[in-house]
Structure 1
Amino acid sequence: MVTTIGTSSDMAKMVENFILLEHDAIAAYETTIERLESAAHKAKVEEFRQDHLRHLQDLKALAGRVGANVPGEGDMKELLTTGKIKLADMVGGDSAILKAMATNEIDTISAYEHAVDNAAVPATEKELFQRGLADERKHKDWMDQAAQTA
């Protein structure tokens, strides 16, 4: 799925969309943790979920600075992100679940890349999006590698 999150010239709207994205990501991580068999995989995915919780807190603070709305939950995309995980679990165990999660990370990486490159993001706020991008790349790399050996 191609995302336009991070491309808006309206900083408040962009932050609101990132908050929705993070809520959706957290829901997908929770679904993944519930369905993984390996305790080691569950622990690593929980570590990544904590990164997303931190992203959410950082984005909420940014929302206050830019006057953005702060949604309390995800949007319809959550059905897609969690649905992929549930379908993967039905057909292939940990490997399939981690592959499905890696596909979710593609959109999240793209959103953070857009924000890092977006001229509407003040220089003082770029670091937040750079940290998020680094985390998302780390998550996807681990998921790709873990899926191959699961």
Structure 2
Amino acid sequence: MASVIGGEAAFIGSLTELIELNWSAVDAFAAALPRMSRSGDRSRLLSFLTDHEHHLDDLAALAHELGSPPLETPTRPKLKSKALTNGIVGDRAILEAMRCYEEETCAAYERTLLSREGLSDRARDALRQALAVERRHRDWFVEQLDARQGLMLLPL
């Protein structure tokens, strides 16, 4: 059983936020995949989607250890992923939107790690590993955006 100094309820709240962010990212990646023109980008995004699905499994296991049933579906509206289905056009614009997801997810993992004392070694390791993966995703998006300087098409 994971132990958390400062309240299991607060930690479960943090896990819930991370689960929701990962569900949102899964939705966004699924919406972005068919819109990407480069097969290499589609392959990379598919691998990132798979990473988010693995994070969901790990976070659900942590929640289960604390006696909280894991969220099977996101509890908040899918507003972010709708942005990718409602008018974002072009690889660069999609990459920018996905970078924003990764930045938000990195920040949430960092907040959880910094604000929770007494995490079990397993919980801390799982969160650190997920954060490292999210930082790798974010860095890839930043590199791609830097390499693709130029016009970004947006709907009028």
- Aligned counterpart for 2:142 among listed residues 141, 144, 148: 144
CA distance in 2, matches of 1:77, 1:145: 30
CA distance in 2, matches of 1:128, 1:83: 29
CA distance in 2, matches of 1:45, 1:127: 25
Q: Which runs of 5+ in 1 are unaligned?
A: 1-7
Q: Which residue of 2 aligns with 1:110?
A: 107
SS of the counterpart of 1:44? Answer: helix
Counting only pairs closer than 5 Å after superposition, residues 48-127 of structure 1 correspond to structure 2 as 48-76=48-76, 78-80=78-80, 82-87=81-86, 89-90=88-89, 93-120=90-117, 122-124=119-121, 125-127=123-125
Contact 2:58 2:126 in 1 (8 A): yes
TM-score by length of 2: 0.80
State the shift of 1:106 in Å: 1.4
Percent identity of the aligned residues? 26
CA-atom RMSD, angstroms?
2.0
CA distance in 2, matches of 1:119, 1:149: 37
In terms of fraction of residues, the more helix-rich structure is 1
Structure with larger Rg: 2
Q: Which runs of 5+ in 2 are unaligned?
A: 1-7, 149-156
Number of positions where the alignment pairs a residue of Structure 1 with one of Structure 2: 140
Q: Which residue identity does 2:120 align to in structure 1?
A: A
